[in-house]
């Protein structure tokens, strides 16, 4: 298999407090186990300025600490630095960037904000499955 240069991924959602934060944490935690030299970041179109305590809690259940993450705004010029830009499912179509450079994907993950902790766990598990599929594809696997 041909060696790959470091992969840069950014996960984008509206508030950058739940879904994209969980995806970033999962990608960075799992990448080396898949043999992927890569790093993920996250951003929001309308960042809330904090990471959801529920997102922090359900990620800690998987041994992943996202408590130190920051809630950041999407910088359209910096998107050029990424090979993959993955929208978690923008509910606000007026501010969600419609086209990204590189490989752009929309996972359409529901927003757990305002729901019970069990919904956060379900969303985390869905994101984990999708991150694992992405990592597998990056290595020529599943």
Residue 114 contacts by C-beta under 8 Å, 6 or more apart in sequence? none
In CATH terms, the fold of domain 9-137 is: Rossmann fold (3.40.50)
- To the nearest 10°, report the CA torsion of 102, 29, 118, 94: -20
pLDDT in tens, 59-116: 999 999 999 999 999 988 888 889 999 999 864 454 455 455 578 888 999 999 999 9
Q: Which of 9, 36, 90, 109 is catalytic?
A: 90
| Every domain of the chain and the residues it spans | 9-137
First to last CA, the chain: 15
Question: Is 133's pLDDT higher than 80?
Answer: yes
Q: What is the pLDDT of residue 101?
A: 56
Question: In the annotation, is 90 catalytic?
Answer: yes
Residue 78 has a pLDDT of 83
Q: Which residues pair with 43 in a beta bridge?
A: 12
Exactly one of 36, 43, 96, 127 is catalytic; name it: 96
Catalytic residue (choose from 9, 10, 12, 13):
13
In the block, tokens 């993955």 appear at: 86
User: In the numeric block, which tokens belong to residue 2?
Assistant: 């041909």
């Amino acid at each position: 298999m041909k060696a790959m240069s470091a992969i840069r991924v950014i996960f984008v959602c509206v508030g950058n407090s739940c879904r994209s934060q969980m995806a970033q944490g999962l990608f960075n935690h799992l990448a080396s186990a898949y043999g992927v030299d890569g790093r993920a970041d996250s951003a929001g179109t309308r960042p809330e300025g904090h990471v959801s305590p529920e997102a922090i809690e359900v990620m800690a259940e998987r041994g992943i600490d996202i408590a130190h993450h920051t809630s950041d705004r999407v910088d359209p010029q910096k998107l050029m630095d990424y090979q993959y830009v993955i929208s978690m499912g923008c509910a606000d179509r007026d501010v969600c960037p419609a086209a990204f450079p590189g490989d752009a994907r929309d996972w359409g993950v529901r927003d757990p904000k305002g729901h019970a902790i069990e919904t956060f766990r379900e969303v985390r598990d869905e994101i984990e499955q999708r991150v694992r599929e992405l990592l597998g594809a990056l290595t020529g696997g599943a």
